[in-house]
Copies of this chain bind each other. A is one copy, B any other.
Amino acid sequence: MALVVQKYGGSSVADAARIKRVAQRIVATKKAGNDVVVIVSAMGDTTDELLDLAQQVSPLPPGRELDMLLTAGERISMALLAMAIANLGHQARSFTGSQAGVITDSTHGKARIIDVTPGRIQEALNSGQIAIVAGFQGVSQDTKDITTLGRGGSDTTAVALAAALGADVCEIYTDVDGIFTADPRIVGAARQIPRISYEEAMEMAACGAKILHLRCVEYARRFDLPIHVRSSFSNKEGTWVVSVHNTDEGNEMEQPIISGVAHDRSEAKITVVGVPDKVGEAAAIFRTLADAEINIDMIVQNISAAATARTDISFTLPSADGTVAVTALKRIQEQIGFEKILFDDQIGKVSLVGAGMRSHPGVTAKFFGALADAGVNIEMISTSEIRISVIVGQNEVDAAVAAAHAAFDLDADQVEAVVYGGTGR
């Protein structure tokens, strides 16, 4: 008997009909002889509707109360799901994040899980019940207030509970068949990836692939917990996110150089122009941004123009944080003595991700060549061991993704004719 943790997102439980279908899938898993714990998000648009209500009563609602409000969403979906399962003749009990033992810090809106004590879940499993748990929420250790985990919170709940319970697998259900080599809406020939390492999945998530959140993959990696990303609309095998040892196992020869091409249109670029080229100036700029709790992604510093002893520093950040960042920087303009700030939110990031590029030279050259052939101009570059990201104009993102996807033989009709190699990365 295995212990299976399943997570269903908001679109999988958007209405009564879908909840009933999900209930059938859960019961089928139970009937196959497994213990089952289910993590569920709020129904469809519930969270947006609640946020809209909040906006109507207060332009800046306190975080504690916003969390109290939003957690009503999962309470509704989890109770309905438990009822639907009961109606199929199986015993199910729903649990809030607090009841499930999801202990967090007190950062309302983006709390971090600091402990999981799933005593009540284990008890329910021991007595043969299916446990339904509210995703996205917990209770703060210090104040015993209700918290929410922020973006991707339900996936994180699922992985954290799966780890704490020693589950055999954490199944993340979504509305597509798994993780793809690129967004199928941009690249028609994009293929579903059968197996991918935690590291690659993390890079994909960090670079804008929306299926799995970075945080949840990080968590799974730490506990070496296999994640199975699959569709709630079919019984097809999805994408397994596993330890790199398992991805390589027995089929090392077949591993492609590139696992996929991710893209992200949610970032903006800020350039601080004419920064005096002195020790500590860049540090002062990024300290200011850190104090404003802004996450910086890519950073580029030009070589100082010898004549002026001044340099330009460019970086990318979430577009939504643009105003806060610019305001914070203007406050230190005089102190630092830079000339001006340029803000550009018409950018996009395109990333090649693949563990294979470690051992295959020439990937960068091929990537940049493909972009050049497609007439795409590169504004910034950043790399890791298993990723190359470039910033391009936002209206060039689609062309860049398609060009990279084709260049690295990821297109479905080419998959039988994968060609490795290159000439120096």
With most chain B CB atoms within 10 A of its CB, the pick from A71, A73, A79, A120 is A79
Residues of B within 8 A of A83 (CB): 54, 57-58, 61-62, 65-66, 69
Contact between A68 and B87 (Cβ–Cβ < 8 Å)? Answer: no
Q: Mark A44-83, 1 if CB is under 8 A from B, else 0.
A: 0000001001101111111011101101110110111111
- A228 at interface by CB-CB < 8 Å: no
Residues of B within 8 A of A81 (CB): 57
- A19 at interface by CB-CB < 8 Å: yes
User: Considering the chains assembled together, what is the distance between the CA atoms of A79 and B144 in angstroms?
Assistant: 16
Q: Which of A14-59 contact B (CB under 8 A)?
A: 16, 19-20, 23, 50, 53-54, 56-59
Chain A contact-residue range equals 35 or more
Given A68-B82, A80-B54, A82-B68, also A87-B75 (CB < 8 A)? no
Q: Which of B16, B62, B72 contacts A53 (CB 8 A)?
A: B16
List 18 other contacts, CB 8 Å, given A65-B86, A75-B75. A16-B53, A16-B56, A16-B57, A19-B57, A20-B57, A23-B57, A50-B76, A58-B84, A59-B87, A61-B87, A64-B93, A65-B80, A65-B82, A65-B94, A69-B79, A72-B73, A99-B144, A120-B144
Q: Identify the A interface with B (CB < 8 A).
A: 16, 19-20, 23, 50, 53-54, 56-62, 64-66, 68-69, 71-73, 75-76, 78-84, 86-87, 92-94, 99, 120, 144
